[in-house]
Structure 1
Amino acid sequence: MMEPISSPHHPRFLAPKLSYLSGWCTLLLAALSTSCGLVEKHHLVGSYYLVAEDAPQQMKVVFNLNPGERQSYLRIGEMVYAVGWDHNYIVAKQHPENNRRIDHYYYLDIKKDYESAAPRSSVVGPLTELEFKRRQADLGLPGFRLTIESLQ
């Protein structure tokens, strides 16, 4: 004997509900796959973040007043693989153009920076390791606290 359509076990009873759930699942997956596009994000200090949009090799230091929004201002470009910070400075090591045989050093003076500032007004670099160590001793720049091992 066949169960009535109103029974929760009848195929015609289940079909509309499964179709409804399938639609919501598809919508949820689409929203998740296009959410913010960041593969990596580390808050450093204040409005500064270490981020990579699509691939870790795009790691850079940005200024972002509204962390929920995608608009940010580039401070130190790709490929940053190590950073340090305190309330006065952010320091960074970078492989320019993803060339891991070259190391550039930078520091950012937080007191000289603001949203629409040109990066050259607050960012110093590229520096060699020797130049960086001299500035570190003279200015009391912080040490490196975070290293992205896969980019080193």
Structure 2
Amino acid sequence: MLVIASIVVVLAIAVAGCTGSAPEGGTGLSKQDAYLNAYCTGMDYHSRAQDYFSNGTIAWESGDFRKAVAEYANASMDYDAAANVYGEMARYAASPGDGAFGDSLRGCAFNLSRASDSFMNAAIALEENDTDKAYGLFEEGQSYVNDSDMMLDRCIALTPEWLLNLTSG
């Protein structure tokens, strides 16, 4: 029986810096405010995607592959949206380090989107009783999850000092 381990993405800074700190979008934002706004928007998508992914995992483990397909499809869409927004962070980065942080978040979300797609397709294969195909897709999804875990470690290491200061103050 295939079992998907639940992914819990915990960044040291997570959404704590986003509790009202990011101003609404607009043309008059400073680069730092625009960067923080993009970060917070990305985190919103990422958090929703994580919930969908967890729900997909629960549905998978209970044998409700149809629900798993729907949840993983939603996770994929929100992880893609997060990746796109994190990619925008580079436009507003005040330093190469800030840009690298956004790029790492983008890579993490992108890989989780691909993992969601793989698990969704594996669930479809299981509904069709094609266990060989399902196993291959499951392994592919796990590979994306592993890559994302490595990127998450990099994200934590690259977290801008000023962003950490927002969350501790």
Q: TM-score, normalised by structure 2?
A: 0.24
Larger proportion of helix: 2
Larger proportion of strand: 1
* Larger radius of gyration between Structure 1 and Structure 2: 1
